Amino acid sequence: MNTIRAERLKYNIKKQGATSVYVMVKDARTIDDFFSFDQILLDAPCSGSGTLNVENQKLKATFTPQLISKTVAIQKKLLQKAVNILKVGSEMVYSTCSILEEENEAIINEILKTNRVEIVPIEKKAMEDLPFLPTKIPGTLCICPNQYYEGFFIAKLRKTKREFQT
């Protein structure tokens, strides 16, 4: 819940001319399931592995297995909540600035097992020059960090069912 980032987001939304957008400064894990949304962008908190400066002397102290475990736990809860409040037939985007499988494909595969969502393949047209990393889920994208790009992951999901199948 970062007010400064929310204000920056509001500014960018207005600048792009987007309408019918509401920015909530709230921990999304606590949003009531009463709400339902037509579209969701879940830019999940992550380890930032796609943005790391490997020359940073403090990297070993801050980029730890504990950091990854903590972010994975948060990501799972956020994604589950997002699926709960997404309308059936509607789409969402899950993104991180991580290139680690456990923060990306593993999270998506877990939610796919619920049979509540399906992958909507992302077209790579007009993106041929991007440095792609291989992904284990067809239709998702992972960009390799280099001198021009920070690394990141994107998956697009469509909600197919309201409740879990038993």
> Tens of pLDDT along 64-104?
999 999 999 999 999 999 999 999 999 999 999 999 999 99
Closest-CA residue to 96 (of 140, 148, 34, 162): 140
pLDDT of residue 166: 42
User: Rg of the Cα trace of the chain?
Assistant: 17
User: Does residue 24 form part of some domain?
Assistant: no
Q: What is the pTM of this model?
A: 0.88
Range of the domain at 140: 31-159
- Least confident range of 47-56, 66-75, 98-107, 152-161: 47-56
Average pLDDT over residues 159-165: 75
142 is catalytic: no
Closest-CA residue to 132 (of 107, 92, 94, 122): 122
User: Does residue 73 form part of some domain?
Assistant: yes
User: Does residue 61 form part of some domain?
Assistant: yes
User: Does residue 43 form part of some domain?
Assistant: yes
User: Does residue 58 form part of some domain?
Assistant: yes
Domains: count for the chain = 1
Specify the DSSP element, H or E, that contains 60: helix 59-62
Cβ density class 120-152: b for 16+ within 10 Å, e for less: eeeeeeeeeeeeebebebeebbbbebeeeeebb
pLDDT at 109 over 90: yes
